[in-house]
Amino acid sequence: MCGIIGLVSKKEVSSTLVEGLKRLEYRGYDSSGIATISNEKIERVRSKGNLKFLEEKLLSTSLPGNIGIGHTRWATHGTPEEKNAHPHITDKVAVVHNGIIENNNQLRNQLIEAGTKFASDTDTEVVCHIITSYINSGLSAYDSIRASINDIRGTYAFGVLIASEPNKLFAVRGGSPIAIGSADEENYIGSDTYSLSAYSDNITYLKDGDIAIIENKSYEIFDQSNSLVEREKQSIIESVTLSEKGIFKHFMSKEIHEQPEVIAKSLSNYIDMDNSLLCVPDLPYDLSTISNVTLVACGSSYYAGLIARDWFEKFTNVKVDVEIASEFRYREPPMDSNGLTIFISQSGETADTLAALKHCKSLGQKTISIVNVGDSSMCRNSHASLKIFAGPEIGVASTKAFTCQLIVLACLAIKIGRLNGSLNKDQEKDYVKSLLSIPRLISNTLDKEDEIVKLAHDLSNITTTLYLGRGQMYPVAMEGALKLKEISYVHAEGYPAGEMKHGPIALLERDLPVFMMAPSNTLYEKTVSNLNEVIARDASVILLTDEKGLENIGYLKDKIKTFLVDETDIISAPFVYTLPNQLIAYHIALLKGTDVDQPRNLAKSVTVE
């Protein structure tokens, strides 16, 4: 994913900016660049490829100035050419960006109609021109940036230079992390702890909607209501390494909060951002004629398969089976010779799933593995493999890998639907648009973590609980229950809400906590009926729903606890309803004092049968 560095100092900054970019290389990139302000003029040098090419250019093109920004780019909008490398500039503004601007095409077209000439294919250049237009209209630098972020939709972290403000560096957060690091008479901005840890012993993360105005000896942060705010300044762990937790208490917490970024990175590998169309790599067999799809996995990866079943059934009109690998491999069911079997695995080393892969290959199945670890056994042994690009997942409980698995599964289902004619281009564009909204929707939920903390305090003494949902919310419920049981050791069971009356309703008793996931969709009314059954037996319901869902339960809302999320659709609902469950499990486990990252009896990869 992209990386941002910025610096305002009393000394020249260009060489420090390049060193800062080197600390961002681990994030993966295909081009880089820096910009500074000298004599109120913006100067810039960029290069395609490795940072050493940028350094070579800088040997012959000096960049004077004691204020600047730098960027390592992972191509999303636009090919990895120099013209698309950041910073993007006009005569008045320079911008570096991490994230995805969802309404990029609409804004670009408006600017072109107004006479703007573009030098790149990127969404970032759009933002650069919007800020410039506000400055040209007479707004201050801060007001121009604030007005610009009100025009855009998506996820973003920006570093901004304004030529007329040569002593002020601007940082903006909207879904992608960006932080300030203070040092002696100089202040830095960076995408993460690791990028800043070489220059500062402290870090102040901005919150979504914040704009920071940073000078070399001080800075101010304004929230989205333009109020001056304080953000927590935290110490940076001295020996921060790439896989260190940084400012997070646990890897699981870091990985939960990384999801907007890593999902954006995963999306950028499977979607052509310029045209909002899929660009899933071609597979070594014809997907347009497959007769059925079998999804095979274990644990959370199995629940990802259950969620994806809705997408494959609705988008491809092909029969879909979802199998637990340890059951499937011994049952050895008959399989259609023209079938596709998809193996889902974060580690790519799960013994039962590998055994199932071997069995399916012996039956002549077309196989594909969806993995996070690229050189894993499953990757090597299947006919094709699609990486999920979640980055190293250290916490045993799967979070970002689970949601990135869903991204790739959704893209694959749409691709097959387009290939076999079940989906048309407009439907593809609609589903892709929904996929592109997921980083923002997840970020919105993460912003409400303090509500989850309060909820966790109320539930810290629970010993057993139920998670209920219908349709895709049923596997979401099972994944939520798994998160809670595997890190807090509380017995939790995910169940189809419609199945309660067939037995489990006998479990209900006063104050038993029951989590219910109910997006305001076609199954909402049925889920509310189940909600009534649960309340009627004095159990304590925690309802996850959206504004419309809350309105429709009327007086019942006074009898339950609620956590509101954004409105969703068939694509975004599993992501948006999984996030609160991840946070609930984490904060209850935190209160119970269990070993969140290495829970008892568990391994990150179950390579034994």
b vs e for 468-497, b when ≥16 Cβ sit within 10 Å of the residue's Cβ?
A: bbbbbbbbbbbbbbbbbbbbbebebbbbbb
Place of tokens 């008045």: 92
Distance CA 54, CA 234 (A): 32
Distance CA 222, CA 605 (A): 44
- Least distance from ligand AGP to the Cβ atom of residue 232, Å: 29
- Least distance from ligand AGP to the Cβ atom of residue 372, Å: 8
Distance CA 369, CA 412 (A): 11
The identity of residue 361, as a single letter, is K
| Closer Cβ to ligand AGP, 298 or 523, answer by number | 298
Task: Name the CA dihedral angle for 441, 442, 443, 446, rounded to a multiple of 10 degrees.
Answer: 130
Angle (CA) 309 315 316, round 5°: 85
CB 237 within 8 A of CB 220: no
| Closer Cβ to ligand AGP, 119 or 603, answer by number | 603
| Closer Cβ to ligand AGP, 353 or 472, answer by number | 353
Strand-strand pairing, 93-101 and 67-73: unpaired
| Closer Cβ to ligand AGP, 148 or 346, answer by number | 346
Active site positions, annotated: 2, 604
| Closer Cβ to ligand AGP, 139 or 606, answer by number | 606
Report the DSSP beta bridge partners of residue 543.
Answer: 516, 562
- Least distance from ligand AGP to the Cβ atom of residue 594, Å: 14
| Closer Cβ to ligand AGP, 84 or 353, answer by number | 353
| Closer Cβ to ligand AGP, 300 or 530, answer by number | 300
The residue number whose beta carbon is nearest to ligand AGP equals 299
- Least distance from ligand AGP to the Cβ atom of residue 351, Å: 9
- Least distance from ligand AGP to the Cβ atom of residue 345, Å: 3
Cβ contacts of residue 248 below 8 Å, gap of 6+? Answer: 254, 257
Cβ contacts of residue 138 below 8 Å, gap of 6+? Answer: none
CB 43 within 8 A of CB 135: no
- Least distance from ligand AGP to the Cβ atom of residue 486, Å: 6
Residues of this chain that interact with ligand AGP (CB under 6 A) are: 298-301, 345-347, 350, 353, 396-398, 486, 605-606
Record the tokens describing residue 50, joined without a space: 């490795």
Distance CA 458, CA 271 (A): 42
CB 463 within 8 A of CB 509: no
